[in-house]
Structure 1
Amino acid sequence: MTPAPVFPVSEPEISAQRAQILRHVYRDGAVLLPGVLRSADQLAAIRDALADAPGTARERFAPRTTLGPGVYSALGWAADRILCPQPEQSYVDTPPALLLIGCLAPPAEGGATLLADNRAALHALPRELVAAAQAEGWTLTRMFRDRIGLSWREAFDAATVDEMAIYCSAHDVGLEILPGSGLRTSQRRAAVRTHPVTGESCWANHLAFLNRWSLRADERKVLVSAYGVDGLPFDTFLGADEPLEPRTVATIDEVYADLSRPVRWQRGDVLVIDPALTSTGREPYSGPRELAVAFGA
């Protein structure tokens, strides 16, 4: 996969060019609109010109700041760590159809957004893994405790346990209320998705990204010692409950590392991405880096 093709257009022309822009997105997985963004609010207008409806940041695993109605900051991820490519919100019942990322201020060094083709990943991964994932899907479990990672209130935008329960019931998320103030959630999703427009099959899941073996060894050791393997903040499984081997997680990571292509930011650039076709990550960086993010349904 090459970095996203460039589609020169002015912001007022985006609505008129919608069909052509989306053709590029469906073909290439992403397209870059250079220099069209001046503010976070404007990203919402670009989203509305391209998407059928606005989307939201749901079931977050890392913090985001709200910059405006339906517009968010990039994931709060340590600047000195790589963010491995992952398909946006693959763990929700209805993932977003479009992901828009706009650059308000590029970093001094590094910080490129990494794009990786989910169609190519499907063909590059071991056949037996793909067959099992396609047949059985994958399961994500999350454990919410005070002072460990995001709270369930932040992750699910819920003010009360009752609100949390209503959301989980509506979106096929299992919910277990634990003694004290803890909650456990679980959800089983498709691991391979058929794109609704192109009909192509895509490896679209967080099977490796949110697995226990993706934690740094020292961090995993501390968490397992404190809470046990079943008490980790997040973990993933093939099917309902089959644990992944470390080698399986490493293989998925290696495939995505090989497929990753960097997009270097210039102020005002906007990436329009199809999350089913393309996973996104981020290189480490230094200096301020301001990106705005919006989702389309």
Structure 2
Amino acid sequence: MDSQSTAPTQQANTVPERQGPADSELPIMISPTYPGQPLLEAFGDLRADIESLVTRVGGVLLRGFDVPAVDDFQQFAAAFGHPLLSYEFASTPRSAVSSGIYTSTEYPAHQHIPLHNEQAYTREWPMKIWFHCVTASPEGGETPIADSRAIYRRMPAEIRERFAPGILYVRNYGDFDMPWQQVFNTEDRSEVEAFCQRAGIRCEWKPDGDLRTTQLCQSIETHPVTGERVWFNQGHLFHVSNLQPEVRESLEELLDPEDMPRNVFFADGSPIDDAIFDEIRGVLAEETVMFPWQAGDVLMLDNMLVAHARTPFKGPRKVVVAMAEGHGNLSND
């Protein structure tokens, strides 16, 4: 994988058509030393720069390299030295493309997926995440990103203080959300119970055979390498205010509060007012960085330092994902 070229790596702070806060460096763009340079060939020269930049800035965009197949992307991600992770305790539908490679979230093209850090709704998550654009949508389909350190700093102090003890995620699987069999990749209830016990999740089988899980997770975390505080949760995705108003109204007519497909509460179980998440979403919007994909792009992020999203799109779009380097806080108990 080592490159034969000794030419310096080309870096640029400005990605064409980038939109976002002026004080954010995201993402640092790295270009090949010659047109069409294979990404795997360049890996030896790129690795130190990439790792340093990902730790400092949070993300790099590798653009202009030759990535002839998804297998090449898989080899590139795996070359950083950590086994690629499977997608466990899922919150959104994905399909496996190959070992350790998944489709990006398979929500309908017209839907916006808000900013989030991957699996921040659990107490175990990947430290690194890679995205590879195989096919760029002709309209929309960007993967916006945002600095989780800047989000934490910008978040109103009273919200940080109220969220500091963590937030409680409640999920009801079945008719109105993903079935538990898909989330846990098993049909065996005992396997679900064993996973939940190990992961610090309280699970309850309801009379109709469906499952409810409850878990207290972090809202704010400390990066294990940089020591920086980051806003690290998916409360704004799980709270009922994330539903379309007409969907929320219908579900609230049908279901008791504890039976809503997804919801999130303060650590003491008290409800979180919609207005708080309005403020949180405003902070996320102010820190959002967006740029159009180009076919062949590879985006590597530190999953604790940088959140990601997806904009609606039209036409074909294919972006695949890899994750590695598991981390968590279960040992803190």
Same fold (TM over 0.5): yes
Q: Higher relative CO (CA 8 A, sep ≥ 6), structure 1 or 2?
A: 1
* Alignment deviations for residues 159-192 of structure 1 (CA, whole Å, 9 cap, x no partner): 2111111111111111001112210011111111
* Alignment deviations for residues 42-90 of structure 1 (CA, whole Å, 9 cap, x no partner): 2221111125332222221211011000110010122112211011100
Aligned counterpart for 2:94 among listed residues 41, 49, 64: 64
Q: Does 1:181 align with 2:209?
A: yes
> 1:37 Cα shift?
2.6
Does the Cα contact within 8 Å between 2:26 and 2:57 map onto a contact in 1?
Answer: no
Is the deviation greater in 267-276 or in 223-232? 223-232
- Cα RMSD of the aligned pairs, angstroms, is 1.4
- State the alpha-carbon separation in 1 of the partners of residues 55 and 243 from structure 2: 33
Amino acid at match of 2:160: V
For structure 2, the 5+ residue unaligned runs are: 1-23, 33-38, 326-333
Q: How do 1:42-53 residues align onto structure 2 when only pairs under 5 Å count?
A: 42-53=72-83
The residue that corresponds to 1:83 in the other structure is: 113
* Alignment deviations for residues 196-216 of structure 1 (CA, whole Å, 9 cap, x no partner): 111110001011121111111
Deviation >3 Å, runs of 4+ = none
Aligned counterpart for 1:7 among listed residues 4, 27, 30: 30
SS of 1:43's partner is: helix
Q: Does 1:26 align with 2:55?
A: yes
Number of residue equivalences? 295
* Alignment deviations for residues 219-257 of structure 1 (CA, whole Å, 9 cap, x no partner): 111111111221111111121412111110111111111
Percent of aligned pairs with the same amino acid: 26
Aligned counterpart for 2:294 among listed residues 266, 271, 275: 266
The residue that corresponds to 1:144 in the other structure is: 173
The residue that corresponds to 1:93 in the other structure is: 123
Question: In terms of Rg, which structure is larger?
Answer: 2
Does the Cα contact within 8 Å between 1:86 and 1:280 map onto a contact in 2?
Answer: yes
Q: Does 1:104 align with 2:122?
A: no
Amino acid at match of 2:298: V
Does the Cα contact within 8 Å between 2:83 and 2:324 map onto a contact in 1?
Answer: yes
Q: Does 1:40 align with 2:70?
A: yes
> Normalization by structure 2: what TM-score?
0.85
SS of 1:241's partner is: coil
> Normalization by structure 1: what TM-score?
0.95
Q: Does 1:294 align with 2:322?
A: yes
* Alignment deviations for residues 112-156 of structure 1 (CA, whole Å, 9 cap, x no partner): 11001110111111101102222x1111110012x3221111112
- State the alpha-carbon separation in 1 of the partners of residues 225 and 148 from structure 2: 15
> 1:15 Cα shift?
4.4
Does the Cα contact within 8 Å between 1:213 and 1:246 map onto a contact in 2?
Answer: yes
For structure 1, the 5+ residue unaligned runs are: none
> 1:263 Cα shift?
2.8
